[in-house]
Amino acid sequence: METQVYNFSNIRFADLQKMVSIRPKRNLTKFEEWFSFDYPLSDEEISLLEKLIEKHALMLPAYQEEDLKMKFLSPIFNQVDFFTSDFHEWYEPHFSGKVNGYELKGFVNFMVAKGFDVPEKPYFFIQEFKPSIPDKNPEYQLLAEMLVAIEKNQTSIFRGGYIIGQLWKFVILEKIAENQFEYFVSEAFDSLKIKDLKQIYVNLQAVKLIYCQD
């Protein structure tokens, strides 16, 4: 029997439900450990975030994905500095794997993973989209990537996030039994509000310092 292949960019929730039992759950306490990470921002970091908002506030809602990535997101990711001897960030890497006999593949907007010339062990994904793109859902694309990561890593939990314009949401996917998954989506953070952008930055530091571990 020929293996069914799905591309991350076109995935629907109904497609995911063919592969596994998966359902959303609302439980914001799932994010408490992650979002309460004790990371004191330096004056340099706060200044960077304030300048990004001041510089891009008017144009950011109109940015295409590449503009958003290079002008606003990359400075944040570079300041977090995911580049270590054990793992680093990847932009638009090809990623693929099988989930319950189905093949999923495509390009990931942003990945933190172990590896040298190709990502080998993923730790974190971010997808970004424009709200105007029809028939595209970054949440479902992210979930598909996270399902593959859980199978590859042989773990029961994975974290990621997605961005629509200036709004960020973080996601936790948990494997609760064989082929059974639950996922949790955080409240939205507005990256053009300094309080929210500071929290986004702390959340990314928590990914680097806590969750990018074997």
Q: In what order do the strands lie in the sheet with 102-107?
A: 5-7, 102-107, 94-99
Residue-averaged pLDDT of the chain = 95
- Predicted confidence band at 41 (pLDDT cuts at 50, 70, 90)? very high
137 or 209: whose pLDDT is higher? 209
pLDDT of 2 reads 78
Please tell me the pTM assigned to this model: 0.95
Q: Which two tokens stand for residue 50?
A: 């304030």
134 or 5: whose pLDDT is higher? 5
pLDDT of 115 reads 93
Number of domains in the chain: 1
Query: Does position 129 have pLDDT exceeding 80, yes or no?
Result: no
Closest CA to 100 of 151, 36, 48, 176: 151
Q: What domain range is 13 assigned to? A: 5-211
**Which whole-number Å values give the CA distances from 178 to 123, 145, 156, 190, in the listed order?**
21, 18, 10, 36
Question: Which tens digit of pLDDT belongs to each residue from 190-205?
Answer: 999 999 999 999 999 9
